[in-house]
């Protein structure tokens, strides 16, 4: 049986980096978003539900997928069937 890549594995493979490096890149972007000087942009990052103070890449992904589905934009997810 063929193993299906998850989202992070696919992004890492496409960039020729490790999954951990990919998650670190996403983590840095999340932290940047939470410190954005624009209060509207910061508010959108703060809306991501999370267990701790800062969303994990997995929490960000879950939120992004749910938001796309709720907004009727799940057509954008067709490129990532394993989400």
The whole-angstrom separation of Cα 34 and Cα 42 is 5
This prediction's pTM: 0.82
| pLDDT grade for 6, boundaries at 50, 70 and 90 | confident
Question: Hey, how many other C-beta atoms are within 10 angstroms of the C-beta on 30?
Answer: 19
The average pLDDT across 6-11 equals 90
Residues 21, 31, 36, 68, Cα dihedral to 10°: 80
Burial class (CB in 10 A: 0-12, 13-18, 19+), 38: exposed
Q: Nearest to residue 8, comparing CAs of 77, 17, 33, 68?
A: 17
| pLDDT grade for 51, boundaries at 50, 70 and 90 | very high
């Amino acid at each position: 049986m063929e193993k299906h890549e998850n989202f992070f594995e696919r992004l890492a493979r496409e960039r020729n980096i490790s999954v951990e490096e990919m998650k670190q890149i996403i983590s840095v972007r999340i932290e940047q978003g939470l410190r954005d000087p624009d209060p509207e942009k910061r508010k959108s990052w703060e809306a991501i539900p999370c267990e701790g103070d800062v969303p994990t890449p997995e929490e960000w992904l879950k939120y992004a997928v749910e938001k796309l589905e709720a907004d009727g934009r799940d057509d954008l997810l067709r490129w990532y069937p394993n989400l």
